[in-house]
Amino acid sequence: MIGLYRPGYSPVHRTPAGIKLVLLLVTITAATVFVRTPLQLGAVAAGAAGLFVLARIPWRVALDQLRPMVWMLAIIALFQVLTTSPERAVVVCGLLLLSVALAALVTLTTRVTDMLDAVTRALGPLRRIGVDPDRIGLMLALAIRCVPLLATVVREVAEARRARGLQWSVTALVTPVLVRSLRTADAMGDALAARGVDDD
C-alpha cells in the first residue's frame, strides 16, 4: 500500500482531521451546487491552489495526484461537449478535478490514523443501533489506501503497453487493470481474514 501523507507544520497540517473532513464535504457540495460558470470555477480553483501553497505541497506532488484523472476527464469532456456545451464541459470536468485535488490535499496533510480516529469518534453514538464504527473506519482506511494503489496499477499497465508499442485502447487498458485489481482485492481479503478481521 502507498502512504500519501507528507509530514509538515503548516496551518493545513495542524487543522484537526475531523474539521478537514467536514470542510472537504461542505466545500465539494457547495461547489457542485453553486459553481455554474468557468469564471466561478476559476475563483474556487485559485482558492484550492492557495491551500496547496499554504500547506507547502510541491507542485509536482500535487500534479501526481491529478494525473490519473486525465483519461477519465477526457472522456467526460467529450461526452459533455457532444451533449451540452464546451462551457458546461469545462465546469463539470473542473469540478471533478477540484474535488480530487481537495481530497488529495486532505490525504497529503492528514495521517490516516487521525482520519480514522475522527470517523470512529463521529460514529460512536451509532453503536447503540448496532453500527460498528471500527469496521467502518477500517473500510475508510482501505478505500483511502486503495485509491493510490489503483492509480499505480493503471499507470504501470499504460506504461507497459507503451513500452511494447501497442496502440491505445480502452478495452486493452481496462482488462488488465481489472484483473490486477481483483487479484489485489483477493489477496487483501485473505490477509484481513487471516488476521481475524472478519471474526464476530
Residue 109 is predicted with a pLDDT of: 93
Average pLDDT for residues 149-170, to the nearest whole number? 71
Q: Scan for cell 503497453, then name that residue.
A: 161
* Residue 102 and residue 127 share a domain: no
CB 69 within 8 A of CB 100: yes
* Residue 135 and residue 101 share a domain: no
Tell me what percent of the residues of the chain surpass a pLDDT of 90: 37
Total domains present in the chain:
2
* Residue 141 and residue 76 share a domain: no
pLDDT band at 132 (very low <50, low <70, confident <90, very high): confident
Which residues, other chains included, contact 35 with Cβ-Cβ below 8 Å and sequence gap of 6+? 41, 44, 91, 94, 95
* Residue 101 and residue 152 share a domain: no
* Residue 84 and residue 6 share a domain: yes
Residue 170 is predicted with a pLDDT of: 61
* Residue 102 and residue 9 share a domain: yes
Residue 1 is predicted with a pLDDT of: 36
* Residue 124 and residue 105 share a domain: no
Q: Of 90, 110, 130, which marks where a domain is finished?
A: 110
Separation between Cα atoms, residue 113 and residue 25, nearest integer Å: 19
CA–CA distance from 124 to each of 32, 96, 112, 142 (Å)? Answer: 29, 31, 18, 20
Average pLDDT for residues 67-90, to the nearest whole number? 88
pTM: 0.71
Note the Cα 30 to chain centre separation in Å.
18
CA gyration radius, the chain: 19
CA–CA distance from 159 to each of 60, 124, 167 (Å)? Answer: 19, 44, 12
CB 114 within 8 A of CB 17: yes
pLDDT tens-digit series, residues 96-120: 999 989 988 998 999 878 888 888 8
Host domain of residue 92:
1-110
pLDDT tens-digit series, residues 3-59: 478 999 999 999 999 999 899 999 999 999 999 999 999 999 999 999 999 999 999
Separation between Cα atoms, residue 81 and residue 90, nearest integer Å: 9
Q: For residue 155, what is its C-alpha cell?
A: 499507470
* Residue 7 and residue 90 share a domain: yes
